[in-house]
Amino acid sequence: MGTIVGVVIAVVVLGLAILVIGGYNGLVRARNAIKNAFAQIDVQLQRRFDLVPNLVETAKAYMAHERETLEAVVAARGAALSGLSAAQASPGDPAAMQQLEAGQGALNAALGRLIALAESYPDLKANQNMAQLSEELTSTENKVAFARQAYNDAVMSYNNRRETFPTSVYAGMFGFTPAAPLGIPPERPEMRDAPKVQF
């Protein structure tokens, strides 16, 4: 009788161990999916950041007296790069994602002002280099949107796994904190639209 009780207890303990190990491994896979999805955002944002100085240099020749606007774009790019650095260090961290969102919002606004001003310069609109840069920027904006969606899907999957029973019982004990999606703050509705790029 004692042997049967011992076997039953051993089976129950083994079953619980398998459940915990499986849940832990699932959380690790989900957290790694977030990091991978964020890496795709990182690639696209780096491409976007690389295009901005070329866009400013091209516009500078035609918009010499719009120096303040051009400097604002460069400063916003710097702030956006800073936000990206914070997010690279900790993808999914709510504070890092908020900093990234704020930087991207500032860059979107600055680019929007630049593009609006460029409309009043016919020679700039006709410049082939400016047209090509604008097309690349638009394409990159679309890629950023797709990468953001994939990242947010990975975050949702991770958070769902982290918050469902029985994983929720031990997720916190193993240091699996909630991940934050990369969204658009409600107080910044203008960020929902990519800058309109047409020359």
Residue boundaries of the structural domains of the chain: 2-192
Q: By mean pLDDT, which of 22-31, 134-143, 184-193 is the weakest?
A: 184-193
Burial 26-36 (b: 16+ CB within 10 A, else e): ebeebbebbbe
Percent of the chain with pLDDT over 70: 92
- In terms of Cβ atoms closer than 10 Å to its own Cβ (0-12, 13-18, 19+), residue 79 is middle
Structure tokens at 166: 């029985």
Confidence class of residue 135 from pLDDT cuts 50, 70 and 90? confident
Cβ neighbors of 142 (< 8 A, separation 6 or more) are 194
Quick check: 192 pLDDT over 70? no
Q: How far apart are CA 85 and CA 72, in angstroms?
A: 20
Average the pLDDT over 163-179 and give the result.
Answer: 92
Q: What is the pLDDT of residue 194?
A: 52
**191: DSSP letter:** G
CA distance 160 to 133: 40
Q: pLDDT confidence of 196, banded at 50, 70, 90? A: low
Per residue in 30-40, pLDDT tens? 999 999 999 99
Report the mean per-residue pLDDT for the chain: 87
**What pLDDT score was predicted for residue 199?**
45
pTM beyond 0.85, yes or no = no
Task: State the pLDDT at residue 193.
Answer: 54
Across 161-198, b (16+ Cβ under 10 Å) vs e yields bbeeeebeeebeeeebeebbbbebeeeeeebeebbebe
Asked if the model's pLDDT at residue 197 lies above 70, the reply is no
Residue-wise DSSP of 42-53 = HHHHHHHHHHHH
| 2-35 residue pLDDT tens | 789 989 999 999 999 999 999 999 999 999 999 9
User: Is 60 exceeded by the pLDDT of residue 188?
Assistant: no
Specify the CATH number of the domain 2-192. Answer: 1.20.1440.20
Mean pLDDT for the stretch of residues 61-67:
76
Q: What is the mean pLDDT of residues 136-162?
A: 93
Between CA 68 and CA 164 the distance in angstroms is 51
